[in-house]
Amino acid sequence: MINNRFFANCPKNMGELSAKEIKGLGGYDIKTAPAGVSFSGNQETAYRVLIWSRLSGRVFLEISQFEVNESDDIYNNAKETDWQQEMNLDTSFSISCDLVHSSTINH
């Protein structure tokens, strides 16, 4: 099975508990964030987290990851993503971002 990176959101300050839960459901290479947990696993692992996690609300497939220091970084990195591999022109999508103490980005 193909392994991917995922992000499971959870209530703020519950990342450590959510990480333990995700590890028990088969996730690995786990990193906590202010409002969620990123982890590696296959599609089956993602489904297990969706079904059995008591703390995670949603599980997102990570298409790209990059550091943002100024607003242009978002646009420049988004342009480099191979969007045609992920979706077609009729597909809609949303972007979610949690900013922590950012004086540069205020979207």
- Amino acid letter for position 49: V
pLDDT exceeds cutoff 90 at 40: yes
For residue range 18-28, list pLDDT tens digits in order: 999 999 999 99
Q: Tell which residue, 2, 1, 3, has the closest CA to residue 27.
A: 3
Q: Are 39 and 28 in contact (CB under 8 A)?
A: yes
Predicted TM-score of the model (pTM): 0.76
Given a cut of 90, whether residue 14 has pLDDT beyond it is: yes
Q: Which residues pair with 61 in a beta bridge?
A: 6
pLDDT digits (tens, 9 = 90+) for 57-75: 899 998 888 888 887 888 8
**DSSP strand E in 10-75: where?**
28-33, 36-42, 59-61
Distance CA 40, CA 50 (A): 14
What is the rounded CA–CA span in Å between residue 10 and residue 35?
A: 5
- pLDDT, one tens digit per residue, over 74-86 is 889 888 888 888 8
Assigned token pair, 14: 């519950």
